[in-house]
Structure 1
Amino acid sequence: MTQVDHKVLLQGINHAVAVAVPESGIILFENARFFDWFAPGDVSTGVLFDRIPGLDWERVASRIEAGRAFETDVEGKKGARTIPVRLTIRSQSDENGDLLILEGVNVSKEIESQYMLDSYSKMAEKNAREIEKEKSRVEKLLLNIMPKVVYEELKDFGVTTPHRFDSATILMLDFVGFTDMAISHDPSALISELNDIFSAFDRIADMFSCDRIRTIGDAYMAACGLPEENPDHAVNIAKVALRMRRYIDKRNNAHTNKWQCRIGVNTGAVIGSLVGIQKYVYDLFGPGANLAARMETMSEPMKITVNQDTYDILKDDFVFTPRGEFDIKGFGPMNLYFLEDEHRNKY
């Protein structure tokens, strides 16, 4: 192939190509693309060093002398638009001596692709953070309506199995005269107070490894000994009940609204299960839960009522006042007691 053929071939390629003398920078050949991208400020000059401003020619010479090619990213011009060019400079020897071969490639699409990849990557990272944030929010919400063990089972298997607990202790609490309070007071302020009270109850329950099961209106239900067994479930619930009452008593001394709680406690067998398909509620069923509700109904303002079986479990650690025998609906006659306090010599 002749020299003319080489020039024709080089003029037709998409890359910018030039051949120059190393010492003087005089360009011996350049194709149209090189001329367009690195156009001389003065058409009469053909010096390479003035055509690519900002290029460290000393570094280029050092690399070439070491027998290696020099590669860098520079800016070229395509009309009025600046384009990124990846420029490779290498030395080539022929019968006339050493020459510099320059080859430039427009990397606009590569940079655009990289920019898009970076944008997609950042978007994916942002979406991943949002998903994690949403998962955390959902987990927090679900843990507010079900015990952690039940939540883990639901997360791992998609369903939960009802469990029977042969011995657990249930606390039921409601407020005397709440309906009248709701009618006669500002509802927003009243609900705000109730929320503060229930939040305090949650903290008290957590102190003694008890779980809030649910709230309905002004009613609050907590349990210990489920879904994880706890040998001290009755003692823990008794301590929670006393501290809830103490909290209400102290709150009443500092606030205008006087809340009067009524508490029932029972130890017995219950079934715990998640109820619902679209809206979940974890609830307790069975005689243990029913009798706890009866104890709350049979209690009095600012009193904690237990039955004989629960009393027998707690009598060595707590102070009680006998109430006598009562006929409990669905359960028959039972001896009831007021839980008054803890034995100070033990605690």
Structure 2
Amino acid sequence: MAAVPYIYIIISYSSLLVFYHFKRFDAFTFTQLVMLLVMPFFMQWIIGGFQASSGVAFWAILSPVGALMILGTRQSTPWFILFGVLAVLSWWLNSLFSMHALPIPSDIRDAFFAINMTGVSGILYIVMRYFQSQKAKVLEALAIEKSRSEQLLRSILPDSVAQRLHEAQGTRIADSHEAVTILFADIVNFTQISATLSPTQVVDMLNHVFSRFDQLATQYGVEKIKTIGDAYMVIAGAPNPRHDHAQVIADMALAMPALLREVSHEIGQSLEMRIGINSGAVVAGIIGNTRFSYDLWGDAVNFASRMEHTGLPNQIQVSASTYALLNQDYVFEPRNGVEIKGKGVVNTYWLKSKR
């Protein structure tokens, strides 16, 4: 009986040396699990059954628990079945073992019952508490990463679209909007300006300008669609319809020149912009599976871009469709006979102020 712990120590150190030499963790794990499973039952049989050994076989439960922690759920099942088989075998043969029970005083047996029960339960509690704390840390880390990913998604997509994309799980998102207003703004002579600056200075300048425009877009409740080089694009009326889509775009456009003058003063670089506005119907949504973005398609988008391209520095050029929505509340100057690619000669208007 006394030799059993020494055998356990010899096998343990031998398996550690094998593991150190061959780096085979699976062999080391298997050896330890076998000893944890077999030796407590072997001790119980030698001492004389369950009562005489003070239930020392309780320690064998650490074998399937260890297999569960190290090998996983599926691979731990055979170890638990083996534990059950040995437990049933010990119960069935207990009368045979008890016939050769050692004459151990009852107070010592009772003391070892307490030691075995508290020892096994204490180890199990500590192990499960440790894994529960690790589980809580993992769940907390996952929640933080999920929050970050959702914030990132909502920073590049409108909230309603981000929510739909999250629920759709890869389904194409495209909606038709019959009444929207689109604004394009472009820095005048950007190529010449950028030629006098380093690449870092160009990026810093654009970031300074467009960050202030982003604040303006948030202030007026419009959706920034994208920046294309030195061009800035926003829309009102999509993805969430609103009856005042033309008004909020007009108000933002009127605020942009004054804001650009402030930025010019801050960075010490004279900047001017052309702004074009058009109203109409578009299709808006997300296509593709990688590096997707919320975008717009339709003739109204192209015409808004033409309004910007054919405009003049520090002027806001609007189409006839936008003028029809705003002429009662805003001041305009007509600009007749503008050549628009694909449209011919059309009448446009300069937006000057709000009445």
> TM-score, length-normalised on structure 2?
0.67
Counterpart pick for 1:12 among 53, 67, 83: 53
> 1:289: Cα distance to partner?
0.4
CA separation of 1:121/1:287 partners in 2, compared to 1, >3 Å: closer, same or farther? same
Secondary structure at the aligned position of 2:294 is classed as strand
Name the CA distance, whole Å, in 1 between partners of 2:144 and 2:106. 61
Aligned to 1:164: 176
Which residue identity is paired with 1:182? S
Instruction: Work out whether 1:321 is the aligned partner of 2:342.
Output: no
CA separation of 1:108/1:195 partners in 2, compared to 1, >3 Å: closer, same or farther? farther
More strand by share: 1
Unaligned runs of 5+ in 2: 1-46, 57-104
> 1:194: Cα distance to partner?
1.5
Name the CA distance, whole Å, in 1 between partners of 2:195 and 2:227. 20
Name the CA distance, whole Å, in 2 between partners of 1:160 and 1:326. 38
Secondary structure at the aligned position of 2:172 is classed as coil
Instruction: Work out whether 1:122 is the aligned partner of 2:133.
Output: yes
Name the CA distance, whole Å, in 2 between partners of 1:244 and 1:123. 52
Name the CA distance, whole Å, in 1 between partners of 2:190 and 2:134. 51
Please, which moves more after superposition, 227-236 or 124-133?
124-133
Instruction: Work out whether 1:279 is the aligned partner of 2:291.
Output: yes
Instruction: Work out whether 1:107 is the aligned partner of 2:118.
Output: yes
Secondary structure at the aligned position of 1:316 is classed as coil
CA separation of 1:113/1:208 partners in 2, compared to 1, >3 Å: closer, same or farther? same
Name the CA distance, whole Å, in 1 between partners of 2:126 and 2:186. 61
Unaligned runs of 5+ in 1: 1-6, 16-27, 38-86, 88-102
1:298-326 C-alpha deviation (Å, 9 max, x unpaired): 11122111012211211121222222221
Name the CA distance, whole Å, in 2 between partners of 1:167 and 1:187. 39
Name the CA distance, whole Å, in 1 between partners of 2:304 and 2:48. 98
Aligned to 1:237: 249
- CA-atom RMSD in angstroms: 2.3
> 1:268: Cα distance to partner?
0.7
Instruction: Work out whether 1:290 is the aligned partner of 2:331.
Output: no
Name the CA distance, whole Å, in 2 between partners of 1:8 and 1:186. 88
Aligned to 2:34: none
More helix by share: 2
Tell whether the 8 Å contact from 1:322 to 1:338 is kept in structure 2 after alignment.
yes
Aligned to 1:30: 107
CA separation of 1:194/1:112 partners in 2, compared to 1, >3 Å: closer, same or farther? farther
Name the CA distance, whole Å, in 1 between partners of 2:117 and 2:145. 43
Tell whether the 8 Å contact from 2:172 to 2:287 is kept in structure 1 after alignment.
no
Instruction: Work out whether 1:149 is the aligned partner of 2:190.
Output: no
Counterpart pick for 2:239 among 227, 239, 246: 227
Which residue identity is paired with 2:314? M
Tell whether the 8 Å contact from 1:205 to 1:212 is kept in structure 2 after alignment.
yes
Identity %: 31
CA separation of 1:29/1:161 partners in 2, compared to 1, >3 Å: closer, same or farther? closer
Instruction: Work out whether 1:214 is the aligned partner of 2:226.
Output: yes
> 1:153: Cα distance to partner?
1.3
Secondary structure at the aligned position of 1:281 is classed as coil
> 1:213: Cα distance to partner?
0.8
Tell whether the 8 Å contact from 1:11 to 1:31 is kept in structure 2 after alignment.
no
CA separation of 1:255/1:289 partners in 2, compared to 1, >3 Å: closer, same or farther? same
Tell whether the 8 Å contact from 1:153 to 1:160 is kept in structure 2 after alignment.
no
1:105-147 C-alpha deviation (Å, 9 max, x unpaired): 4533322322222222222222222222222222222223222
1:49-73 C-alpha deviation (Å, 9 max, x unpaired): xxxxxxxxxxxxxxxxxxxxxxxxx
What pairs up with 1:327-342 in 2 under 5 angstroms?
327-342=339-354
Secondary structure at the aligned position of 1:185 is classed as coil
Secondary structure at the aligned position of 2:269 is classed as coil
Tell whether the 8 Å contact from 1:150 to 1:227 is kept in structure 2 after alignment.
yes
Secondary structure at the aligned position of 1:119 is classed as helix
What pairs up with 1:292-307 in 2 under 5 angstroms?
292-307=304-319
> 1:285: Cα distance to partner?
0.6
Name the CA distance, whole Å, in 1 between partners of 2:240 and 2:259. 27
Name the CA distance, whole Å, in 2 between partners of 1:284 and 1:29. 86
Secondary structure at the aligned position of 1:137 is classed as helix
Which residue identity is paired with 1:156? E
CA separation of 1:312/1:116 partners in 2, compared to 1, >3 Å: closer, same or farther? same
Which residue identity is paired with 2:139? A
Which residue identity is paired with 2:223? D
Name the CA distance, whole Å, in 1 between partners of 2:201 and 2:119. 63
